[in-house]
Amino acid sequence: MGWRFLLHRRWAGYLAMTIVFATVCVLLALWQLARRDEAVAEINRVAANYDAEPAPLADVLPALDSYDPSQEWLTAELSGHYLIDDQVLVRNRPLGGDVGFDVLVPFQLDSGEVFVVDRGWVPTGERQDAPDSIPAAPTGAQTIVVRLKASEPHQDNTGAVDGQLSTIEVPEVADRVGLPTYTAAYGLLDSEDPAPAERPMAMPRPQPDEGAHLSYTFQWFCFGLLGFVGLAYIVRQEYRRANEDDPEEQERAAERERKRLAKRTDAQVEDEILDAR
């Protein structure tokens, strides 16, 4: 018989299935690798921008629709005053394992334009789906420092009441304000001068974490390789079965059995004796 059994078309099917499985594993490995690259890029962006010296907002965002993803976490300085009457809440915002609200307050610059500021997070109330209290934004002239974030995509305000939003969709806040407003980005509040006695909880600094993407990448590559290892094992077992009447294969089988018996432990020998009884 030899290896002629491999000419049967079912083995071509097994090979095709193994190739498809390995291809899927490679694609998943490359996807995990791309995810890791994104995580590393985010870590580098935070390291470069988070503690940068604040620059005037007009220098950072020269137009109302200016914003580049590379500017995420970049610090900017604004002078003006809060439009307190236009404050809105963003619902279902997680922080530290709890869910609450982000407090958005438009900030009108001395030049007249408006920039949306996320002053921080407040927890959901004890007895209602709204905060028990919200630290008020300071009145009068302010100089504030913010960290830039991209405007979030639109989401229907399902379940949101008046004065609440489902996402930080800056154009929607701009429509409420009715003044020239920066629409591509908003700012996470870093500091206010003069500082109020109380403010919403500040967003924590992002922690550098690549995740387990690199480990998953190696695992998927290994899974793809194991597919061929498994196929080779099946081929070997089929070869032994198909050639079990061949004297040379019988001799090899006897040698394998002798090696197996030689490796038995005393406990295994005792178990075999008990099984024989």
Look-up: residue for tokens 């500082």?
195
Residue 97 pLDDT: 85
Strand partners, 114: 108, 181
Residue 105 pLDDT: 97
Task: Report d(CA 250, CA 247) in Å as an integer.
Answer: 5
Q: What is the pLDDT of residues 22-34, one digit of tens each?
A: 999 999 999 999 9
Residue 198 pLDDT: 92
Give me the long-range contacts of 39-46 (CB less than 8 A, separation at least 24).
39/209, 39/210, 39/211, 39/213, 40/210, 42/206, 43/208, 43/209, 43/210, 45/70, 45/72, 45/73, 46/73, 46/205, 46/206, 46/208
Give the contacts of 81 (CB within 8 A, at least 6 positions apart).
Answer: 107, 108, 139, 140, 141, 142
In contact, 184 and 170? CB cutoff 8 Å: yes
In contact, 105 and 90? CB cutoff 8 Å: no
Instruction: For the chain, list residues with pLDDT below 50.
Output: none
Residue 267's Cα: distance from chain center in Å? Answer: 50
Task: Report d(CA 169, CA 151) in Å as an integer.
Answer: 5
Residue 135 pLDDT: 93
| Burial environment of residue 14 by CB neighbours within 10 A (0 to 12, 13 to 18, 19 or more) | middle
